[in-house]
Amino acid sequence: MNKKISLLMLILFMVCSLFFVQNKTAHSDESVNKADKELSSRFITIPEDIKTIDRAPVKFPHDKHTKALDKDEEGCELCHLKGIDNILDFTYPRKKADATREAFTNSFHNECIGCHTEKNNEDIKTGPLTCGECHVIDDDFHNNDYLPIMPEYYEPLRDTYHKNCISCHQDPAKKAEDAGGLDWKSFYVKKREFIEAEIPAVNFDYFLHDKHEKALDEKCEKCHALSEEKKSELEKLGKEPVCRDWLQELPEDKSYKIKEYAHSVCINCHLDKKDKNEDGGPVYCKECHLAEKRTADDMLEVKRIECEQDEKILIKLEKDMRMKEVAFNHQSHQKVTLSCQECHHDTIQACSVCHTLEGSDKGDNITLAESYHSVSSSWACIGCHENEKKKSDCAGCHNLLDTGLLESACETCHNGVIEDLDKKNPHPALEKLFTDDIKKEMEIDIIQDEYELSKFPHDKIVAKLVEISDNSTLASYFHTDNMTLCAGCHHLTPLTAKSSVPQCRTCHTVRKEPTEATPALLGAYHQQCLGCHIQMGGTEEEMPQDCAGCHEEKK
């Protein structure tokens, strides 16, 4: 009997210890993974004509390599070719051949495995040597199988129209009428350029530009490659060279992509400074490819880039102008953007250079009118303003109002008077707004059987709206009338009837008719009040979203 019990104990102990060991290994694995993730890694891009490879794509940890080579004091040259003038060429592999599938594969295998083998033979700690160690099928691979490849400056928050690709691009192409019959898989995974989320694009914002300007003593030519020909061309015209369009001046002998060119310019300069023991810029991926972007509020104090043009201009056509010109304040728009690229795409030029009146291939066949008025594009004036209205400060009112191009709004922009830009529309003091016949606080009593009266602080709400509107340049320009703010809640009436406003229950009846389109009083109150509270997302005390926050329950 005793023997049996001791045997049982032994087995129990063994099982327990097994669990313990397993748990321990699992934990250590996690920590390794975490450390790996902090080092930025990205999938190696496969050329389009090769399409797929036999094994899982390789996720390449660049910073891990940089750090390891830094330790061994073997700089970047081990992997990247050093060309003439000691300029590093940041392409990999050094002898890249993507003409055929085999050549492409070999060019990577030769250099990666070659180096790893060499180091291994010298008994130095090095990377993997077998296939499966590089071609890993892990969670990331599965998760990001159909990661969309978006344009370079794509931002899901701004470009709301493109947020839900699948809603139009169905699988497999549903019908021709749905999204032009596009099959979303071919649309999504065409290139598999892989996980930009790991390494987000560098946003060269005003802050970075200002920092570089100061560090480089305002020597623009260090970054902006200005060819001699163009310089002399400008000199003939008697103009100082202006540092713009540096991306247009790509070296002609190399078929660089923008990304490669940027790496070549930035990192070479940073490395150069580092060699000279000067204060240079970052070398590791994640130091430039920041996960979080600076906001316009972070850069309030940062000097904006000087432009050739006036602060305020009238946007007009050279011929055939039918509407009045649009007064435009360039400086105030610079204040609220992160970089010039937010409006100007890759090149700093006037919109009409690419977006011609009739549309041209250069401007993706988007006409000039569209480029200003498109509701769905954040590049366009209207589209961008539309997105501003979705921000929490504005969405409270604007969420229930009609969106898009309103007929009544044409004249607000097309007024042809440049002086109007200075004309802000501050609201009068509250004491003047609240004349005798407007109540400061009201009581709403429509659901008295279940809840207590709800007290409605009319004056506080107006004060908050006035504060928001007056603090925003955009809002104070477009909220032209004193009554505009009132229209956020008292829709339709205050703009037309300039006197006092009818009661809600004049239109929104208490009794709910079965097929009535207008919300009943209960619905109207809740949609207006609660809808605004949710959109503005304030604190529970300030903007209650719970039932009891507005009307206490009856006991």
Partner 1 sequence: MSNSRRTFLKKITGAGSLLFFGNKKSAQANIPKVSPDQFGVLVDTTRCVGCRKCEEACNTINEDLPRKSVSVFKDKDVFKERRRMDFGTYTVVNKYKSANVSDKPVFAKFQCMHCLYPACVSACIVGAFTRDKDGAITYDSWKCIGCRYCLAACPFQVPAYEFSNILTPQVRKCTFCFDTRLVKGQIPACVQACPMEVMKFGKRTDLIKDAHENIKKNPGRYIPHVYGEKEVGGTSWMYLSNIPFNRIDFPKLGYHPVPGYTEPIQHAIFKWLLPPLGVYAALGGIWFFLSSKKKKVKKDEENGSS
Kindly report the number of other CB atoms within 10 A of residue 43's CB atom: 19
x/- string (CB under 8 A) for partner 1, residues 449-468?
A: --------------------
- Bridge pairing between strands 326-329 and 442-444: unpaired
Q: Which is nearer to partner 1, 63 or 198 (CB)?
A: 198
To the nearest whole angstrom, how small is the minimum distance from the Cβ of residue 397 to partner 1? Answer: 14
Q: Stretches 139-147, 321-329, 488-496, 510-518: which one binds partner 1 (CB under 8 A)?
A: 510-518
x/- string (CB under 8 A) for partner 1, residues 286-305?
A: --------------------
181-210 residues near partner 1, rule: CB under 8 A? none
Length of the chain measured in residues: 555
**DSSP assigned state of 254:** S
Q: Look at residue 286 and give its three-state secondary structure.
A: helix
Which of 32, 99, 103, 157 binds partner 1 (CB under 8 A)? It is: 157
Which of 230, 330, 414, 526 binds partner 1 (CB under 8 A)? It is: 526
Distance of alpha carbon 315 from alpha carbon 154, whole angstroms: 26
To the nearest whole angstrom, how small is the minimum distance from the Cβ of residue 406 to partner 1? Answer: 11
Q: Taking CB under 8 A as the rule, does residue 103 contact partner 1?
A: no
Please give the single-letter amino acid code of residue 263.
Answer: H
Q: Which is nearer to partner 1, 208 or 446 (CB)?
A: 446
Which of 63, 386, 388, 393 binds partner 1 (CB under 8 A)? It is: 386
Q: Stretches 166-174, 205-213, 433-441, 458-466: which one binds partner 1 (CB under 8 A)?
A: 166-174
Which of 6, 86, 100, 164 binds partner 1 (CB under 8 A)? It is: 164
Q: Taking CB under 8 A as the rule, does residue 309 contact partner 1?
A: no
Q: Which is nearer to partner 1, 169 or 355 (CB)?
A: 169
Report the 3 state secondary structure along 112-166.
HHHHHHHHHHCCCCCCCCCHHHHCCCCHHHHHCCCCCCCCCCCCCCCCHHHCCHH
To the nearest whole angstrom, how small is the minimum distance from the Cβ of residue 510 to partner 1? Answer: 13
Residue of 338, 340, 339, 315 whose CA lies nearest to 328: 315
Burial of 414 (0-12, 13-18, 19+ CB in 10 A): middle
CA distances (Å), 498 to each of 426, 459, 521, in order? 18, 19, 23
Which of 6, 86, 186, 376 binds partner 1 (CB under 8 A)? It is: 376
Q: Stretches 80-88, 183-191, 243-251, 521-529: which one binds partner 1 (CB under 8 A)?
A: 521-529
x/- string (CB under 8 A) for partner 1, residues 536-555?
A: -x-------x-x--------
502: which residues sit within 8 A by CB, 6+ positions away? 493
Q: Look at residue 322 and give its three-state secondary structure.
A: coil
Q: Count the alpha carbons within 13 Å of 212 in the hemisphere toward its beta carbon.
A: 20
To the nearest whole angstrom, how small is the minimum distance from the Cβ of residue 194 to partner 1? Answer: 22
Q: Taking CB under 8 A as the rule, does residue 224 contact partner 1?
A: no
Which of 167, 295, 309, 480 binds partner 1 (CB under 8 A)? It is: 167
Which of 241, 519, 538, 549 binds partner 1 (CB under 8 A)? It is: 519
Distance of alpha carbon 63 from alpha carbon 288, whole angstroms: 12
Q: Which is nearer to partner 1, 324 or 526 (CB)?
A: 526
453: which residues sit within 8 A by CB, 6+ positions away? 443, 444, 445, 551
Please report where in the chains the tokens 């180096």 appear, as a residue. Answer: 115
350: which residues sit within 8 A by CB, 6+ positions away? none
CA distances (Å), 79 to each of 68, 92, 109, in order? 13, 7, 13
The pair phi, psi for residue 451, each rounded to 5°, is -130, 160
Q: Which is nearer to partner 1, 1 or 176 (CB)?
A: 176
Q: Which is nearer to partner 1, 209 or 526 (CB)?
A: 526
Q: Stretches 131-139, 200-208, 400-408, 487-495: which one binds partner 1 (CB under 8 A)?
A: 400-408
Q: Which is nearer to partner 1, 6 or 164 (CB)?
A: 164
- For residue 209, the surrounding DSSP H or E stretch is helix 206-215
Q: Which is nearer to partner 1, 426 or 523 (CB)?
A: 523
Q: Look at residue 302 and give its three-state secondary structure.
A: coil
Residues that bind partner 1 (CB under 8 A): 156-157, 160-161, 163-164, 166-168, 375-376, 386, 402-404, 512, 514-515, 517, 519-520, 522-523, 526-527, 530-531, 534, 537, 545, 547
